[in-house]
Amino acid sequence: SNTTPALFFLTGIPGLEVMHRWISIPFSTAFAIALLGNSTLLYVIKTEPSLHKPMFYFLSMLAVTDLVLSLTTMPKMLSIFWFNAQEIPFKACLVQMFLLHSFCIIESAVLLAMAFDRYVAVCNPLRYNSILTSSLIVKIGLLALLRALGLMLPLPFLLRRLPYCGSHVISHCYCEHMAVVKLACADTRVNNIYGILVSFFIVGLDLLSIGHSYVMILRTVFSLATREEKLKAFGTCLAHICAILVFYIPVVLSSVIHRFGHRIAPHVHILMANLYLLLPPVMNPIVYGIKTKQIRERV
């Protein structure tokens, strides 16, 4: 029957249910580090006047995004591991999915904005403050938010129209779009095509734009006279490069495994999907804390 279920059931990590308590140790540790690290980052940037610059405004956006991603997924995930609390209301599942995918898109947009910031800092240093004004930073932040909301708003409605007359068990730790689509007993081509198009649009467009920024940066760096100047210019980009790798490599690997790794065990798929949600919130404050002198000294 064409009915909307009251509840879905999240399995956690299929095939590793007996190890959930042990798996929860690194997951809960990562969650604590993400909360502490990103909260500390926001506090230091807010209270240190020397950090009131465009680069650190973008870093604040990144920290807020990582906090929301952690808080959207980890509490429910840990409740599954600790208390076997697998039930999630259908509407709550849609909200979690909407927030999860929206803030992943926002994080990609913030990394793109930070690439633009580094491009201006290296290639047009004398015009840095005149280009990256406060009003432009606010507009970039709003544009990132509106893009994510605009792309993700159709998803809950596309899922609500589907009938779920079979299993209500989601083989995942959280409500991910394709994991929910698999439960529908109807034609899901629209959902599948829309999900693929959004993924390719976001990852492809943002990565191409980031790559173009770094091509321009490298041209400028190699044109500098001395080795010290080259190292200094490249050093200003190192933390951002680490943030890009930490975010995009797990996303790309997870997508490749999901599309082509049919013989890979299901728990490997789920662990990879968790990795691209856990790794950036944990690593970003550590990387920027180590590489940024003002933050390192305050902490």
DSSP letter assigned to residue 131 = H
Nearest to 273 by CA among 149, 99, 104: 104
Per-residue pLDDT, 261 = 64
Sign of CA dihedral 286, 292, 293, 294: negative
Please give the Cα distance from 166 to 233 (Å, whole number): 57
Q: Which stretch of DSSP H or E encloses residue 6?
A: none
Q: Which CATH superfamily is domain 7-297 in?
A: Rhodopsin 7-helix transmembrane proteins (1.20.1070.10)
Rounded to two decimals, the pTM is 0.94
Nearest to 114 by CA among 251, 253, 299, 280: 280
Nearest to 72 by CA among 249, 287, 278, 258: 278
User: What angle separates helix 266-291 from helix 20-47, to the nearest 10 degrees?
Assistant: 30
Per-residue pLDDT, 226 = 79
Please give the Cα distance from 299 to 294 (Å, whole number): 9
Per-residue pLDDT, 1 = 46
In tens digits, the chain (299 residues) has pLDDT values of: 456 788 999 999 988 889 999 999 999 999 999 999 999 999 999 999 989 999 999 999 999 999 999 999 999 999 999 999 999 999 999 999 999 999 999 999 999 999 999 999 999 989 999 999 999 999 999 999 999 999 999 999 999 989 998 889 999 999 999 889 989 988 899 998 998 899 888 888 999 999 999 999 999 888 876 788 778 877 888 899 999 999 998 887 877 776 666 677 888 888 888 888 899 999 999 999 888 888 888 87
Strand partners, 7: 89
Strand partners, 88: 8
DSSP letter assigned to residue 9 = E
